[in-house]
Amino acid sequence: MAGAGGGTSDVQWCFSQVKGAIDDDVAEADIISTVEFNHSGELLATGDKGGRVVIFQQEPESKNQPQCRGEYNVYSTFQSHEPEFDYLKSLEIEEKINKIRWLPQKNAAQFLLSTNDKTIKLWKISERDKRPEGYNLKEEDGRYRDLNTVTTLRVPVFRPMDLMVEASPRRVFANAHTYHVNSISVNSDCETYLSADDLRINLWNLEITDRSFNIVDIKPTNMEELTEVITAVEFHPNQCNTFVYSSSKGTIRLCDMRASALCDKHAKQFEEPEDPNNRSFFSEIISSISDVKFSHSGRYMMTRDYLSVKIWDLNMESRPVETYQVHEYLRSKLCSLYENDCIFDKFECCWNGNDSVVMTGSYNNFFRMFDRGYRQDVTLEASRENSKPRSVLKPRKVSTGGKRKKDEISVDSLDFNKKILHTAWHPLDNIIAVATTNNLYIFQEKLN
Amino acid sequence: MEVNVEARRILAVSISKLYASRTQRGGLRLHRSLLLSMVMRSARDIYHSSRETEGQTSEEPMETSSKEGCDSEITEDKENMSPTKQSRKRRGKASAAPDFLPSKRARLEPGEERYAAPMGSWRFDPPPTHIAHQGADLHQRSRDRGITGTMVQALRSI
What is the residue-wise DSSP string for B8-44?
HHHHHHHHHHHHHHTTSTT---HHHHHHHHHHHHHHH
Percentage of chain A modeled with pLDDT above 70: 96
Cα–Cα distance for residue pair A44/A31, rounded to 1 Å: 16
Q: What is the pLDDT of residues A13-51, one digit of tens each?
A: 999 999 998 877 789 999 999 999 999 999 999 999 999
Query: What is the separation, in whole angstroms, between the first and last Cα of chain A?
Result: 13
Per-residue pLDDT for B153 more than 50?
A: no
Q: Answer yes or no: do B10 and A338 touch at CB < 8 A.
A: yes
Q: Of A369-373, A377-381, B35-39, B76-80, where does mean pLDDT reach its minimum?
A: B76-80
Q: Cα–Cα distance between A278 and B46 in angstroms, integer?
A: 16
CA distance, residue A441 to nearest chain B CA (Å): 28
Residue B135 pLDDT exceeds 50: no
More confident position, A204 or B155: A204
Instruction: Identify the pLDDT of residue B35.
Output: 95
Residue A8's pLDDT band (boundaries 50, 70, 90)?
low
Q: Over chain A, what is the mean pLDDT?
A: 93
Asked if the model's pLDDT at residue B87 lies above 80, the reply is no
Q: Do B35 and A179 touch (CB under 8 A)?
A: no
| pLDDT higher than threshold 70 for residue B142 | no
Q: What pLDDT score was predicted for residue B104?
A: 52
Q: Is the pLDDT score of B1 beyond 80?
A: no
How far is Cα A446 from Cα A425, in angstroms, rounded to an integer?
A: 15
Q: What is the pTM of this model?
A: 0.81
In this predicted model, which residue has the larger pLDDT, A391 or B77? A391
pLDDT digits (tens, 9 = 90+) for A393-421: 999 999 987 777 878 999 999 999 999 99
Interface test with B, best of A86, A198, A223 (most B CBs within 10 A): A223
Closest residue to A94, CB basis, from B26, B35, B147: B26
pLDDT of residue A353: 96
The reply to whether residue A335 touches residue B10, judged by beta carbons under 8 angstroms, is: yes
* Strand duo A322-325 + A308-313: pairing: antiparallel
Mean pLDDT in residue range B130-143: 38
Instruction: Answer whether A362's CB lies under 8 Å from A378's CB.
Output: no
A140 touches chain B (CB under 8 A): no
Which tens digits make up the pLDDT trace of A146-186? Answer: 888 888 898 999 999 999 999 999 999 999 999 999 999 99
Give CA angle at A223 (A342, B124), nearest 5°: 85
Among candidates A90, A220, A229 on the partner chain, residue whose Cβ is nearest the Cβ of B31? A229
Instruction: List chain A residues with CB under 8 Å of B45.
Output: none
| Cα A127 to Cα A39, A104, A112, A130, A293, distances in angstroms | 18, 17, 15, 9, 31
Per-residue pLDDT at A314: 98
Residue A190: which residues within 8 A CB-CB, separation 6 or more? A103, A104, A106, A206
Tally C-beta pairs within 8 A across A and B.
87
A168 vs A100: CA distance, rounded Å? 15
Nearest to A229 among B34, B140, B149 (CB): B34
Chain B neighbors of A338, CB-CB under 8 A: 10, 13, 39
In this predicted structure, what is the pLDDT of residue A47? 98
Q: pLDDT band for B138, please (50, 70, 90 cuts).
A: very low
A positions 292-351 inside 8 Å of B (CB) = 335, 338-339, 341, 344
Whether B66 has a pLDDT exceeding 80, the answer reads no
Mean pLDDT of B7-22: 91
Percent of chain A's residues with pLDDT above 90: 80
pLDDT tens, position by position, A364-399: 999 999 999 999 999 999 998 888 888 899 999 999
pLDDT category, A65, cuts 50, 70, 90?
low
Asked which of A337-346, B32-41, B57-66 is least confident by mean pLDDT, the reply is B57-66
Mean pLDDT value of segment A188-202: 98
pLDDT band at A67 (very low <50, low <70, confident <90, very high): low
d(CA A420, CA A135): 53
| pLDDT at B71 > cutoff 50 | no
ipTM of the complex: 0.89
Give the mutation candidate from B23, B24, B38, B41 for the A interface (greatest A CB count, under 10 A).
B38
Residue B115 has pLDDT above 90, yes or no: no
Chain A hits for B35, Cβ within 8 Å: 248, 284-285, 288, 344
Q: What are B's interface residues with A at a Cβ cutoff of 8 A? A: 6-7, 10, 13, 17, 25-27, 29-32, 34-35, 38-39, 42-43, 46, 131, 134-137, 139-140, 143-147, 149-150
Please report residues of A whose CB lies closer than 8 A to that of B34: 226-229, 248
Contact A59, B110 (CB under 8 A): no
Chain A residues with CB-CB distance to B25 below 8 A: 92, 94
Which of A126-140, A171-185, A290-304 is predicted with the least confidence, judged by mean pLDDT? Answer: A126-140
